[in-house]
């Protein structure tokens, strides 16, 4: 399109800054590395661009050293800051010789620095640079992305703040419990109006619950039918647990006996954090147990330092399967912790047979437990 040469005079920049400050945003730190140095800058003009292929865009001032470095490196990471990270936002918004001083950093897949405490990080390869006013718009193809549980830091009218869902979690929790107790038939369509009616809440609250349940994998959004209950049966859970078992057995075969001390120590910490959340035969807090259990098994798989295996593990939707089975009741069994303790000890002692036997046992226990729970819950499936 031809650029305009006539029309109203350019809008006054100060007024624009004031008005555009009313557009709330998250806060990120965009990081990169050149052969000389690591760079990072606070940036809120960052957003997702496309899902297929996954792409991001970041608008960085051309005069900023970080912007030049991203251009030179052809890669960047978007580190999404969490609640309480104001100090990081401030540190990376001021020009300095060592922006990373006192900041925990790990190296990302693309060799760029990734902030270890960030709520999420997304690594991108630059595929295009577009100039817009004083800024370069970097279009990036996503090559790695990972998120942690937590709340984001927000930015509005020049100040940092907290994010709050418009609705508290209560409606979502009730809807989730109904789904877990199988009050809805598998593959049935869940209408927004029906859900609102059943829960006796406003449609907007029911919509919020649907969105979260979709993210949990309990419901899926079908383009033609709407929200559909994802079926769940023992075949689904057996396949998932067997796939995890196969991955872990492969890892044990590859690495046990050669795992460095710091990685053994990390695995032990993950195990103890999980074990603390199962007291007697009850979960202290199921959602926290679920995260800790995931972190433990991810720790086992990552001993292989094989990105393809870790990614395959991530794609198993273990959390969804566990939510749909174990999440129905706070009651469980210490046998699960015992089996996982033996996995840990087998790896620590360099004994692949003991570790593999424990993985088989843990898998058998999980499969049996799902059968028991589904038999008790009954429902419409």
Which pairs with CB-CB distance under 8 Å and at least 24 residues apart come from 372-379? 373/325, 373/326, 373/328, 373/329, 374/233, 374/234, 374/325, 376/329, 377/180, 377/181, 377/182, 377/328, 378/182, 379/181, 379/182, 379/183
Q: Radius of gyration over alpha carbons of the chain, in Å?
A: 24
Residue 291 has, within 13 A of its CA and on its CB side, a CA count of 9
* β pairing state of 226-229 and 219-222: antiparallel
Looking at the Cβ atoms of 64 and 320, the one nearer to ligand FMN is 64
Looking at the Cβ atoms of 93 and 116, the one nearer to ligand FMN is 93
> What is the enclosing helix (H) or strand (E) of 61?
strand 54-61
Looking at the Cβ atoms of 82 and 299, the one nearer to ligand FMN is 82
Q: CA nearest 27: which of 165, 166, 164, 160?
A: 160
Distance of closest approach, residue 108 Cβ to ligand FMN, in angstroms: 18
User: Residue 142 and residue 109: Cα distance in Å, rounded?
Assistant: 11
Looking at the Cβ atoms of 158 and 223, the one nearer to ligand FMN is 158
In Å, how far from its chain's centre is CA 45?
Answer: 21
> 1: burial class by Cβ within 10 Å (0-12, 13-18, 19+)?
exposed
User: Residue 233 and residue 187: Cα distance in Å, rounded?
Assistant: 12
Cis peptide before 53 (omega within 30 of 0): yes
Contact residues: ligand FMN, CB under 6 A: 27, 41-45, 59-61, 64-66, 89, 93-95, 155
User: Residue 204 and residue 36: Cα distance in Å, rounded?
Assistant: 51
Looking at the Cβ atoms of 133 and 280, the one nearer to ligand FMN is 133
Looking at the Cβ atoms of 151 and 368, the one nearer to ligand FMN is 151
Looking at the Cβ atoms of 60 and 301, the one nearer to ligand FMN is 60
For residue 10, what are the contacts with CB-CB under 8 A and spacing of at least 6?
none
Looking at the Cβ atoms of 155 and 286, the one nearer to ligand FMN is 155
User: Residue 32 and residue 108: Cα distance in Å, rounded?
Assistant: 10
């Amino acid at each position: 399109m031809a650029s305009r040469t006539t029309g109203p005079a350019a809008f006054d920049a100060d007024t624009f800054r004031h008005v555009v400050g009313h557009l709330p945003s998250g806060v990120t730190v965009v990081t990169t590395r050149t052969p000389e140095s690591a760079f990072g800058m606070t940036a809120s003009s960052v957003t997702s661009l496309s899902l297929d292929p996954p792409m991001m865009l970041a608008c960085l001032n051309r005069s900023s050293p970080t912007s030049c470095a991203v251009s030179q490196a052809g890669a960047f990471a978007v580190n999404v800051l969490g609640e309480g990270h104001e100090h990081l936002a401030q540190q990376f918004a001021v020009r300095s010789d060592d922006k990373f001083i006192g900041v925990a950093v790990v190296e990302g897949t693309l060799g760029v620095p990734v902030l270890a405490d960030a709520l999420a990080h997304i690594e991108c390869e630059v595929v295009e640079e577009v100039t817009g006013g004083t800024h370069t718009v970097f279009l990036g193809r996503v090559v790695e992305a990972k998120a942690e549980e937590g709340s984001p830091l927000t930015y509005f009218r020049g100040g940092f703040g907290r994010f709050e869902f418009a609705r508290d979690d209560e409606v979502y929790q009730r809807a989730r419990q109904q789904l877990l107790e199988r009050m809805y038939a598998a593959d049935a369509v869940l209408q927004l109006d029906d859900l609102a009616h059943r829960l006796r809440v406003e449609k907007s609250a029911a919509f919020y619950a649907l969105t979260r349940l979709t993210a949990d994998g309990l419901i899926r959004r079908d383009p033609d039918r709407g929200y559909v209950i994802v079926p769940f049966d023992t075949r689904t859970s057996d396949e998932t647990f067997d796939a995890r078992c196969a991955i872990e057995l492969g890892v044990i075969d590859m690495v046990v006996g050669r795992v460095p001390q710091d990685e053994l120590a990390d695995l032990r910490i993950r195990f103890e954090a999980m074990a603390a959340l199962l007291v007697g035969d009850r979960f202290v807090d199921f959602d926290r147990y679920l995260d800790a259990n995931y972190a433990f098994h991810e720790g086992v798989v990552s001993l292989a330092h094989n990105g393809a295996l870790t990614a395959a593990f991530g794609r198993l939707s273990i959390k969804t399967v566990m939510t749909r089975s174990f999440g129905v009741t706070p009651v469980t069994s210490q046998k699960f912790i015992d089996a996982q303790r033996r996995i840990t000890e087998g790896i620590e002692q360099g004994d692949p047979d003991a570790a593999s036997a424990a993985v088989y046992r843990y898998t058998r226990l999980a499969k049996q437990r799902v059968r028991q729970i589904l038999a008790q819950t009954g429902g419409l499936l």
